[in-house]
Structure formats: structure tokens, C-alpha cells
Amino acid sequence: MAYVNLLAKLREIIAVKPLDLDKLSETLRKLRNICATDEKSHKDLGSDIGVLRELCSLIESLQELPQSEDKVACIRLSAQFIGNLAVGNKQNQHNIHTQCFKNVKKLITMGDGKLSLYCFMLLYNVLLGHPEVAYDLLAEPDIVKEILKEDSEFASFIYEELLLKHGEMEKLYHYATNDQRLMLLSTVKENKLRENVPDNCIKYMIDLFKKQSDNILKIVGDYVEKIEPLEICLLLETLASLSGESKYLEILQCDKSLFINCAFLLKSIHDTGKAGDNCFTSIQRITCGFPNKELQNNPAFAFKVDLIRLLSNLCWKNKELQDMIREVECISVLLECCNIDEKNPFITQWSIMAIRNLCDNNPENQAVIAGLSQKGVVSSPVLTELGFTLHSEDGKEIKLAAL
């Protein structure tokens, strides 16, 4: 067998002190390559716990040597060798995890980018074969922080696995920096169709939003806080995006306090916008192309429409929530939002959709809107610009009419 002679040579090199790093790196490189190309060598080497222990002992010996490029090269090759043994073999993965996890943890925190990459590749393959390893990873704060910090493919694979397969958002969030929290939220939003977002992940985001959402009002006036409002806005955008999928809608509809929170928050920012010239004040105009960058860079951009989008979806075929939006007197606010607002693209369409959803098979809500319509017809400069006006033939029903 090809690996037997190489393994014997490796043991001869390790037995001689000081270590000949040139010979060691050459032998490790050959072993790394052979276990990637020869199936039997791959199986036999990975299943031999004695070999794994020798490799871990070698790594510890190398770490004690003075810093040099040759030393780092040997440690990298050792990590690649073990990593190759972990690919596609569940028994090897189990053995590697039980024998080498402590050493891999130390290698990740050495601060060497390439070495961290090889270790993350190793951990990802072990995690694929043994999902329960996720709990060992999450129990190590230093590893979690490195996983979130590392800008590499395999690090991303690991935190996506922990987030989208295991739903461990709370623990990841606990160790994440502000920017990394935005990254986690974006991962959920962007992968909601490719992966099934776990219920506990959604519940955590709901609780987080309810605790922090009122802080969005801090951006009015002289208060300056970059990250917190961005996090709140992305939380809302993610929840609104999830609410558009039937497989996530039920869990969102079950949380009545989320609905009440969103309804009162919509009323608050709507009143704040009407009270003066601030970031929540509507800009009722039509601009060719996208809104300017200054508007888009404000954390309040599209916040209002995302609130309406979430409320609209939550009301979908849900009588209890339809009644609740009437009880908190939010229907009139939604009607007032049926105007173009450059700060909230598509707010007109989402407001109309929300009204449609809250009136669906709900005569009480229909009666409220009918009562409001009897107060008269107000001209709209935005509709005039589009070539339409509001028209009422019988004093009760309001319709769009061409000018």
C-alpha cells in the first residue's frame, strides 16, 4: 500500500530532533496528496486513531518551535492532510473530531489566514457528516468569533449551516459584531427560498425586533446612530420578506404582539412624519429612475413601506389580525399612505394590498372604510400629475377617474 512507506518515513523524521522541516514538509505533502487520490489510503489513514494522535502531537511540537516560514508550512500541510481525510467519510470525520478538535481550535486562533481556511474546510466536512458537532462549535466562543470574522467560503458555509440548518441565530448573534449581525440577517433574507429558515431563528428575530424597533425613532432630529437603526431596518425587511412565503407566514401570524408592535410603530412614524420636516416626512413626487443616494442611505428609507408590507401579509386570511388592525385604529393611517412617497418605493401598491387584505371577508373593516369615505373627496396633486382625479358619484364610493 502506497501510504505505508510514507507513514514509516514520517515517523522516522519525527523521531529525530531537531526536526528536519524540509523533509517533513515533503513527506506531509505526499501524504496529503495520496489521501486525496487513493480511496483505500484515505480510509485506512483516517480510521487509524494512532495516526491521528501522532499528527496532533506533531502539530503541538511544531507550535513550540521558533516562528519561521518552514514551520508554518508544515503546520498548514498537517491541517490539509487531516482535512483531506475528513472529506466524504463519516467514520474518519468522527475520529478526527474526537482526536483533533482541540488542536484544530488552536490552529484557527493562530492568526494565519491560510491555516484558518484549511481548518474551516476540515470543520465544515465534519459538520456535514455529523450535525451534532454544531453544539461543540457553538460552545467555543473563540471559534465562533473566528468563523464570523473570516472572509472565506468555508467559514461562510459553516455559519450558514449553523444559522439555516440548526437555527442557532441567538448564539451567533451573541458573539457577532454590529456588522456581522447585519451579515447574518442578510444571509437569512437572501437564502429564505434556498433553505428552510428554522422556527427558532424566526422567533428570535421577532423578539429582537420587538425589543429594538422603537429605537428607529431616535434617528429623528439630531440623534446620530449608524448601526442600530440599520439593524432594525434590516430586521424588519427580513421579517417582511419571510412573511411573503406561506411556509413562514403562520409562525409570524401567531405572534400577536408583533402585529400590535408594527401597527403602533406605523402610527408613530406616520404622525412623526406629519409633525415636521424629518426623515419620516413623505416626499410626494415622481422621480425618473431610483431615488437619490442621500435618501437611500438614510436608515429610514423604505422602513414605512416594509412595515405596511409586513402588516399586509399578516392580515392575509386572518380574521383575528384583521379585527385587531381596526381596534388599534390603524386603518385610517393605511388609507393616508396610499400616496406616492419617494422615501418608500411602492408604498401606494402595498397600502392598497394591505387594505384589500384587511377587508377580505371582513364587513366590519369594510364598514369603517365606507364611513371614512363619506367625509368627502380631497384633490391630490400627485394624481393630477398622473392624469387622474378622485371622483364620487353617490357621495359614498370613491373611484379614480381620468382628467
Question: Phi first, then psi: what are they for 399, rounded to 5°?
Answer: -135, 160
Domain segments of the chain as ranges: 1-176, 199-361, 370-403
Q: Is 1-176 a domain of CATH 1.25.10.10?
A: yes
Determine if the peptide bond prior to 18 is cis (ω within 30°): yes
The three cell numbers of residue 237 are: 425587511
Put simply, whether the predicted model's pTM sits higher than 0.75 gets the answer yes
pLDDT recorded at residue 293: 75
pLDDT recorded at residue 223: 46
- Kind and range of the H or E run holding 142: helix 141-149
Higher pLDDT residue, 384 or 19?
19
List C-alpha distances in Å: 165 to 42, 197, 293: 28, 7, 36
Looking at residue 302, the DSSP 8-state letter turns out to be: T
DSSP readout, 269-331? HHHHHHHSSSTTS------SSSPPHHHHHSTTTTHHHHHHHHHHHHTTT-HHHHHHHHHTT-H
Higher pLDDT residue, 193 or 160?
160
**How does residue 288 score in pLDDT terms, banded at 50, 70 and 90?**
low
Q: Are 355 and 366 in contact (CB under 8 A)?
A: no
Q: How far apart are CA 347 and CA 314, in angstroms?
A: 16
| pLDDT tens sequence across 229-278 | 889 999 999 999 999 999 999 999 999 999 999 999 999 999 999 998 88
**How does residue 374 score in pLDDT terms, banded at 50, 70 and 90?**
very low
- DSSP β-bridge partners for residue 398: 392
| pLDDT tens sequence across 165-221 | 999 999 999 999 999 999 999 999 999 888 899 999 999 999 999 998 888 877 665
Q: Which of 106, 100, 112 is CA-nearest to residue 69?
A: 112
